[in-house]
A = this chain, B = another copy of it.
Amino acid sequence: MNSRLGQQIAFLVEADKLKSIVRRTPLVDGSRLENSAEHSWHLVLVMMVLREYGPAGIDWMRAIEMVAVHDLVEIDAGDVSAYDETGLEAKSQRERDAADRIFGLLPTDQCDRFRELWDEFEARQTPEARFANAIDRLQPLLQNEHSGGGSWCVQVLADTQILRRMAPIEVAMPDVWPHVLDVVESFCRAGVLQRTRR
């Protein structure tokens, strides 16, 4: 086998490990927690369906590629709860090390390209990255909404924490934001989230 194809296959085989990284969010039927690979697929689908709510004229292909690769670093760095402040401090360095190793399996040109996609997603400065991040916030909200609270039920969380986490949706998909507010309100009413704003 030529060594370029060999490197590419080694990367694709390594990527298989993302299927074993377990997230906090359950499947809608509550049968188990979802993993980061199937979550990434779901993001691609959410993006295909909800793109009309995003900014006009962006590079959709790039945005889709960003969500497809955004979680690969978790193979080394794990999935850290968005509400775990301690975990988040160390997370950033661990994820950069993971990006070095995992994208480093690819031939140099592709390593650079994938790293660029990941850096762009993390920096949240371009419209594509902002939309991709908004989709990455919205999908777990929908999972939680339709599984009776999901990951919101296993820790004590306030409405303001959720809304801060979901804020990228307000910017990137303003027409979807009222649905986010409705969901948070209804889970406050159900006693799953703590109501702290008035």
Given contacts A41-B37, A41-B41, A13 and B146 within 8 Å (CB-CB):
yes
Rounded to whole Å, the gap between the CB of A178 and the closest CB of chain B is: 7
Interface of A is mostly: helix
Q: Does A16 contact B (CB under 8 A)?
A: yes
Contact of A8 among B17, B38, B49, B182 (CB under 8 A): B49
Q: Which residue of B lies closest to A49 (CB)?
A: B8
Contact of A13 among B17, B110, B142 (CB under 8 A): B142
Indicate how many identical chains form the complex: 2
In the complex, which residues of chain B have a beta carbon less than 8 angstroms from the beta carbon of A40? 41
**Nearest 7 CB-CB pairs, A to B?**
A41-B41, A37-B38, A16-B28, A38-B38, A19-B38, A61-B61, A40-B41
Q: Using CB atoms and an 8 Å cutoff, list the residues of chain A in contact with chain B.
A: 1, 5, 8-9, 11-13, 15-20, 27-29, 31, 34-35, 37-38, 40-42, 44-46, 48-50, 53, 60-61, 64-65, 68-69, 106, 110, 139, 142-143, 146, 175-176, 178-179, 182
